[in-house]
C-alpha cells in the first residue's frame, strides 16, 4: 500500500466517528435541544461496545451494545431537560463528566486487553483498483453506514413531513404545540437518535479505529463533533465535509510527528482543537448567516402548561 492510500484510509477512519456523532447532534439541535453531553455518550458507547464485544467475541454485538448504551445515556439527559426542564447546558456538561467517570469504572478490568477488531470489506477486483479501490471499496462497514446516515438525515429533514415538523419545533415550539404537535415526543426521539449516534461513534473508536479500551479514549472528539454542527450551519452535507476536514487535520499532525518535523509534539496534538477554534471564530463573523441557520429555540426549555 502506498503512502497516499495509507493517508486517505486513515483520514476516512479518523473522520467516521466525528461524522456519526455530529450528524446525530445535528438532529438533536434541529429539534431545539442543545446536548453538550456528546463526549460522555461517546465514551460510554466506546466502553460498552468494547466490553460486550470482548465477552461475546463478536464485534457486531459490541456495536449494537454501544448504540444501545448511547441511547440509554441520552435518556437521562432527556428526562432531566425535557421532563423536568433542567438547564440544558449544565445537564449536558454533567452528562459528560458522568460518562467519563462511569466508563472508567466499567472498563477498569479491560485496560490493556486485546479487542475484537471489526475488519474491513474486501470486494474482489474492486478493492484491487490502485488508490481508488482500497479507499472506496476497502473500508470498514461503519464507514459506509456513516455516509448512509448523512444521506438519510438530509432526506428526513428536508424531504419528509416528520422532518419538517421537527424543524418547526426547533424554530418555534410554542406554535408547534398550539397546532397539536407532540413537542416532547419529537424531542425525546431526537435526543435518543443523537445518543445512539454518539454511542455508535464511540463503538467505532474502540472496535475499529483503535481496537482496545483506554480511559478517556474519546479525547475530546465529542467537543469537535459539537463544533462541527455549528461549522456546518446545521446542514448534513456540510457536516460530511467538515468531518473529513477535521479528520485530515488529526491525521496530518500524526504524519508530521512521524516525519520528525521540528515542531513541539504538544502543538501538533493540539492542532485539531486549534482548527476548531479558528473555524468557530470565522463563522461568528457572519452574524446574519448564523442567525438565519440557527434553530431559534435552541437550548430553550419547553413546558407545555406555560
Residues 76-113 pLDDT 10s: 999 999 999 999 999 999 999 999 999 999 988 888 78
d(CA 287, CA 27): 22
The three cell numbers locating residue 126: 474492486
Band (262; pLDDT cuts 50, 70, 90): low
Per-residue pLDDT at 44 exceeds 70? yes
Q: How buried is residue 219: exposed, middle or buried, by Cβ count under 10 Å (0-12/13-18/19+)?
A: middle
d(CA 296, CA 298): 6
Q: Please indicate whether residue 287 or residue 59 has the higher confidence score (pLDDT).
A: 59
Find cell 476516512 and name the residue.
Answer: 12
Q: Per-residue pLDDT tens for 174-224?
A: 999 999 999 999 999 999 999 999 999 999 999 998 888 988 899 889 999
pLDDT of residue 19: 95
Mean pLDDT for the stretch of residues 147-169: 96
Per-residue pLDDT at 155 exceeds 80? yes
Q: Please indicate whether residue 144 or residue 260 has the higher confidence score (pLDDT).
A: 144
pLDDT of residue 115: 75
Per-residue pLDDT at 26 exceeds 90? yes
Mean pLDDT for the stretch of residues 288-298: 79
d(CA 261, CA 47): 34
pLDDT of residue 255: 65
Minimum mean pLDDT range among 24-33, 55-64, 289-298: 289-298
pLDDT of residue 112: 78
Band (56; pLDDT cuts 50, 70, 90): very high
Q: What percent of the chain has pLDDT over 90?
A: 58
Find cell 465514551 and name the residue.
Answer: 43
Structural domains of the chain in order of their starting residue, each with its CATH number: 3-293 (1.10.3470)
Query: How high is the mean pLDDT of the chain?
Result: 87
pLDDT of residue 128: 67
pLDDT of residue 178: 92
Band (170; pLDDT cuts 50, 70, 90): very high
Q: Which of 305, 160, 152, 179 is nearest to 240 (CA)?
A: 152
Q: Please indicate whether residue 240 or residue 132 has the higher confidence score (pLDDT).
A: 240
d(CA 51, CA 46): 9
Per-residue pLDDT at 263 exceeds 70? no
Band (261; pLDDT cuts 50, 70, 90): low
Minimum mean pLDDT range among 12-21, 113-122, 255-264: 255-264
pLDDT of residue 180: 92
Distances (CA, A) of 6 to 81, 211, 263: 44, 18, 23
pLDDT of residue 2: 60
The three cell numbers locating residue 46: 466506546
Amino acid at each position: 500500500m502506498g503512502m497516499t492510500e495509507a493517508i486517505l484510509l486513515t483520514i476516512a477512519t479518523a473522520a467516521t466517528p466525528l461524522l456519526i456523532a455530529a450528524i446525530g447532534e445535528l438532529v438533536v439541535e434541529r429539534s431545539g435541544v442543545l446536548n453538550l453531553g456528546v463526549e460522555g455518550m461517546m465514551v460510554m458507547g466506546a466502553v460498552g461496545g468494547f466490553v460486550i464485544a470482548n465477552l461475546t467475541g463478536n464485534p457486531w454485538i459490541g456495536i449494537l451494545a454501544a448504540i444501545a448504551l448511547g441511547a440509554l445515556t441520552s435518556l437521562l439527559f432527556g428526562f432531566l431537560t425535557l421532563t423536568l426542564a433542567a438547564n440544558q447546558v449544565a445537564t449536558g456538561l454533567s452528562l459528560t463528566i458522568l460518562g467519563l467517570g462511569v466508563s472508567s469504572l466499567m472498563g477498569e478490568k479491560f485496560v490493556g486487553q486485546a479487542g475484537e477488531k471489526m475488519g474491513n470489506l474486501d470486494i474482489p477486483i474492486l478493492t484491487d483498483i490502485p488508490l481508488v479501490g482500497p479507499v472506496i471499496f476497502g473500508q470498514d462497514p461503519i464507514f459506509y453506514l456513516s455516509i448512509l446516515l448523512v444521506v438519510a438525515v438530509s432526506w428526513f429533514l428536508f424531504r419528509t413531513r416528520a422532518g419538517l415538523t421537527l424543524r418547526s419545533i426547533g424554530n418555534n415550539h410554542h406554535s408547534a404545540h398550539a397546532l397539536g404537535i407532540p413537542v416532547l415526543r419529537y424531542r425525546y426521539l431526537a435526543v435518543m437518535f443523537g445518543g445512539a449516534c454518539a454511542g455508535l461513534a464511540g463503538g467505532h473508536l474502540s472496535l475499529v479505529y483503535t481496537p482496545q479500551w483506554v480511559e478517556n479514549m474519546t479525547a475530546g472528539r465529542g467537543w469537535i463533533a459539537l463544533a462541527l454542527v455549528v461549522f456546518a450551519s446545521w446542514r448534513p452535507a456540510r457536516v460530511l465535509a467538515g468531518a473529513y476536514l477535521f479528520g485530515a487535520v488529526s491525521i496530518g499532525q500524526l504524519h508530521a510527528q512521524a516525519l520528525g518535523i521540528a515542531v513541539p509534539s504538544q502543538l501538533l496534538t493540539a492542532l485539531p482543537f486549534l482548527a476548531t477554534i479558528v473555524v468557530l471564530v470565522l463563522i461568528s463573523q457572519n452574524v446574519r448567516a448564523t442567525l438565519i441557520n440557527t434553530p431559534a429555540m435552541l437550548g430553550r426549555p419547553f413546558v407545555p402548561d406555560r
